[in-house]
Amino acid sequence: MSKKLLFVTLSLLVFAPAAAQACACGCGIFDVGTGTMMPTSSGGTVWLEYDYMDQNRNWAGQGPSNAANNSDKEITTHFITAGGQYMFNRSWGAEIEIPYDLRTFDTTGDDGGPAQFTHSALGDIRVKGIYSGFSDDMSTGVTYGLKLPTGDYSYSGFDRDTGIGTGSTDWLLGGYHMGLLSSAAHLDWFVNGQWDHAFTVSSHYRPGDEWDAALGSYYEAGAMLGADRLAPLLQLLGSYRLHDVGFNADPADSGYRRLLISPGVEYDVHNVKLYADIELPVFQDVNGNQLTASALGKFIVGYSF
């Protein structure tokens, strides 16, 4: 197991099968994974992450549904997140993630014709503490913190569940563990999970509670190839989200259960870390009609110090 931060953010379940529920769609899943939430030494890392999601398929229950059943047609989002984590010692640390999102929303206008709205804004900032003092190797830890209501949720043309921000302040509680599967085969494994619960809301909209989890393994190929670190990995990602509630919510068309598979690779060059993956849904069960994405691409560049 590398003694540097495995900065790769597995970002659980990034594709959000939400329909008119774009950012209530599960943007919080971007924070669950091996990466910044799983430190293995004191010190810090900073990173810049780019994610792309194109929700262009109408889905109902466990399968596709006619596009005519949903007044929303497509939601395309570019997510750019700047983050930093610092472990003050081998037990305690802190993390911050600052997102900026660009979203294009194609829907049905008041006149019954097509309408398109594009908006970019600061998203909901997340601040978390980390405790990893359960063992000397820091292989097990818990995370705890808040999602702040910094994202815009009032842009004209966007519904509350398609807004870049949710307007809520959320508790974030998570845990992780990583270990060695086989030293001879150069295989490591990890598991991670997070619960997201809104405890203050605005304008009669409460996003549903969400549980996200990741289980994966990576192959330490770098030493065999003479690289600083080259680690292909495979993840199984799952999430469960409750209905949104409130006067400005759409409970019937929100909430979901899903399972995804995600191959990826990390490459380290001294203190610089590069990561890329693609995440593919293998099971989706959504309430009502919601727009889903067929795949999501991710790229991260980070620096450890």
Interatomic CA distance for residues 84 and 116, integer angstroms: 35
- Provide the residue count of the chain: 305
pLDDT at 132: 93
pLDDT at 225: 57
First to last CA, the chain: 18
Out of 42-51, 69-78, 100-109, 183-192, pick the least confident. 183-192
**What is the overall mean pLDDT for the chain?**
85
Interatomic CA distance for residues 233 and 249, integer angstroms: 38
Query: What is the percent of the chain with per-residue pLDDT over 90, rounded to a whole number?
Result: 68
Residue 180, burial from CB neighbour count under 10 angstroms (0-12, 13-18, 19+): middle
pLDDT band at 182 (very low <50, low <70, confident <90, very high): confident
pLDDT at 4 over 70: no
Q: Which residues pair with 302 in a beta bridge?
A: 47, 273
Task: Identify which has the larger pLDDT, 285 or 182.
Answer: 285
User: Looking at this protein, which amino acid is placed at residue 97?
Assistant: E
pLDDT at 290 over 80: yes
At residue 78, φ and ψ (nearest 5 deg) are -105, 120
pLDDT at 210 over 90: yes
Q: What is the average per-residue pLDDT within 201-230? A: 83
143-165: per-residue pLDDT in tens? 999 999 999 999 998 989 899 99
pLDDT at 224: 53
pLDDT band at 221 (very low <50, low <70, confident <90, very high): confident
Q: What is the average per-residue pLDDT within 82-91? A: 94
Task: Identify which has the larger pLDDT, 187 or 32.
Answer: 187
233-271: per-residue pLDDT in tens? 999 999 999 999 999 999 999 999 999 999 999 888 888
Out of 98-112, 119-133, 176-190, 279-293, pick the least confident. 176-190
| Topology annotation, domain 27-304 | Lipocalin (2.40.128)
pTM of the model: 0.87
| Six token digits for residue 191 | 């598991």
201: Cα within 13 Å, side-chain hemisphere = 17
